[in-house]
Amino acid sequence: MQILQYKTAVSKDFDQIAAFIASINTKISNHCLHCDTETQIIKNEIKDAHLRNEICLIMALKETELVGVFGGDGEPLPNGKRFWLWGPFVKEDIEEWEKVADGMLLFLLQQMPNNKELWFFVNAKANKLRAYYQKKGFEERENQSHVYVASKTNYLASQNPNFKIPSYFSILSFEPSYCNALEKLHTSAFPDGGYSVEEMIKMQDNKHSLWIIIAPNEDFAGYLFAAVQAENEGYIHFLAIEKRYRKKGVGEALMRKALHWTFEEQQLSQAALTVGDKNNARRLYAKVGFELLYSGVGGVKKQS
């Protein structure tokens, strides 16, 4: 195999990288779920993460030809300790696919000297990627995750004029006085996951919304965090309800609030979310218009 050059992508490379990833990520055997399959959406994801200094993408070049991309997003670089991998994406006609991927992974890790955890999330049918990560010492999670999407058509069809949240509950934008209660529930519901409470609070703007639902006596009942994920998609990152308030319509009320924001206020065409095998709210998601898109498998490798 001809000697390859590896480099860290910069802004001028993002359009080329987005098109390259899209051309490979549509194939089930190489389907990485941490990024999209459409060029424009991938481009937006890259640029948004770049603005927050949360993305690093490595390019493999054969002379001037792009033959591979491997990287991802995570906690602010270069000091971030957790990183979610995109790829590896390697041209199918390249000899020694695994060696190209290995070269990019090694170069990537050199850019993140403080990294402690690498995470992958791929389509459950992406046998090529699953085999690669297993070979590299990643511990695959036993339980699968499931990606659901809702179109505006399904959202409108699922409207229930008879649904009413009990009058003694109130949905509010996040208020600082509930920070401790939010922190406690978020840590319990999502011990491995994603954004911290501090990050969610800081991210609030016209494209990121954090709602809380309050019971009588100003008691904290639950929360939902949603965002404009890409040009035409909203994403529900987190939904959690305190046990004492479950089965009272609280979760449905927050979901309907988030979907109204996604489709009516943001005018997006699709909403998405990801849940685990043990999540018992999947019936709720179907009730408000979500359909299963595909199932995924995740895993982690902890760095010494």
Given pLDDT bands bounded at 50, 70 and 90, which one contains residue 1?
Answer: low
Query: Is the previous residue joined to 216 through a cis bond, with omega within 30 degrees of 0?
Result: no
Residue 102 in tokens: 């290995």
Same CATH fold, 147-295 and 5-140? yes
Mean pLDDT (whole number) for 261-277: 93
pLDDT tens track for 165-183: 777 899 999 999 999 999 9
Question: What's the fold here for domain 5-140?
Answer: Aminopeptidase (3.40.630)
pLDDT tens track for 30-62: 999 999 898 988 998 899 899 989 999 999 999
Which DSSP letter does residue 178 get? G
Chain position carrying tokens 């609280």: 250
Higher pLDDT, 194 or 152: 152
Given pLDDT bands bounded at 50, 70 and 90, which one contains residue 279?
Answer: confident
Mean pLDDT (whole number) for 142-171: 89
Cα separation of 189 and 248, whole Å? Answer: 18
CATH code assigned to 147-295? 3.40.630.30
pLDDT tens track for 87-137: 999 998 888 899 999 999 999 999 998 899 999 999 999 999 999 999 999
pLDDT at residue number 191: 87
pLDDT at residue number 2: 64
Residue 219 CB: number of other CB atoms within 10 A? 13
Q: Which residues contact 187 (CB under 8 A, 6 or more apart)?
A: none
Q: Any idea where the domains of the chain sit in the sequence?
A: 5-140, 147-295
**Which residues are 186's β-sheet partners?**
none
Given pLDDT bands bounded at 50, 70 and 90, which one contains residue 207?
Answer: very high
SS (H, E, C) 217-244: HHEEEEEEEEEEEECCEEEEEEEEECHH
Nearest C-alpha neighbor of 119 from the set 94, 103, 105, 138: 138
